[in-house]
A and B are shown apart, each in its own frame.
Chain A
Amino acid sequence: SSELTQDPAVSVALGQTVRITCQGDSLRSYYASWYQQKPGQAPVLVIYGKNNRPSGIPDRFSGSSSGNTASLTITGAQAEDEADYYCNSRDSSGNHMVFGGGTKLTVL
């Protein structure tokens, strides 16, 4: 079982805002990173650190954290944002990495 918990599925209307969450005790101490994965493709980093976007990631993607919960927010979701999203951070020991179970985002 994963030490990071994500909702299995979330949906959002085109152009609306959606928040995908990731819960875990280790998130009180460490930042989460977020990955977008489309079918048949490798994951792509979309958010890392406090709230940083790699080059090429649209600014509609943002990250935040409060207590034991990290969040990925997509402001004005586009059809191309439909994908699986995974959070990643350290486990409670701090010495190992763990991924959340993933959230399937559907854009209606």
Chain B
Amino acid sequence: QVQLQESGPGLVKPSETLSLTCAVSGYSISSGYYWGWIRQPPGKGLEWIGSIYHSGSTYYNPSLKSRVTISVDTSKNQFSLKLSSVTAADTAVYYCARHTWDGYNNWFDPWGQGTLVTVSS
């Protein structure tokens, strides 16, 4: 059973960099799949941030691309998110998920439980 768990600071100051890690258990990242980050501001909908292939290829939301870096560490079986120059608008619950992306198909499953990151001084 694949499980994902997000971790990282729950409070980040404006203009600083948000850093989160997603630890994967029950499946080896190096075996395949994309791995994605999705966020949800309080009371709002879901927003895809980006996804990384196990080999390291990345795809980012164009609206966040200039500030986002997603990386993978197969030795630790985890992948990470960095979002720079954060503002209050980046306050959200951040989810990681395994991302199946091939042909005409695309879906996220399973998801981590999510972690709330608040941007405030």
Contact = CB atoms under 8 A, between A and B. Distances in A.
Contact of A102 (B45, B62, B99, B104): B45
Interface of A: 2, 29-31, 33, 35, 42-45, 48-49, 54, 86, 88-90, 95-102
Interface string B95-121: 100011000111111111110000000
B61 interface: yes
Interface residues of B, number: 25
A33 B95 CA distance: 17
Find the residue from A2, A88, A101 having the highest chain B CB count within 10 A: A88
B80 interface: no
Contacts of A30: 104-106
Nearest to B62: A96
Contacts of B105: 30-31, 33, 48-49
Given A99-B45, A101-B45, A31 B109 contact: no
Interface of B: 36, 38, 45-48, 51, 59-62, 95, 99-100, 104-114
The dominant DSSP class at the B interface is: strand
A33 B108 contact: yes
A42 B106 contact: no
Given A33-B105, A42-B112, A43-B111, 12 more contacts: A42-B113, A43-B95, A44-B111, A45-B107, A45-B109, A88-B48, A88-B107, A88-B108, A89-B106, A97-B106, A98-B48, A99-B47
B109 A54 contact: yes
B45 A33 contact: no
15 contacts: A30-B104, A31-B105, A33-B107, A43-B95, A45-B108, A48-B105, A88-B48, A96-B59, A97-B59, A97-B99, A97-B106, A99-B45, A99-B48, A102-B45, A102-B46
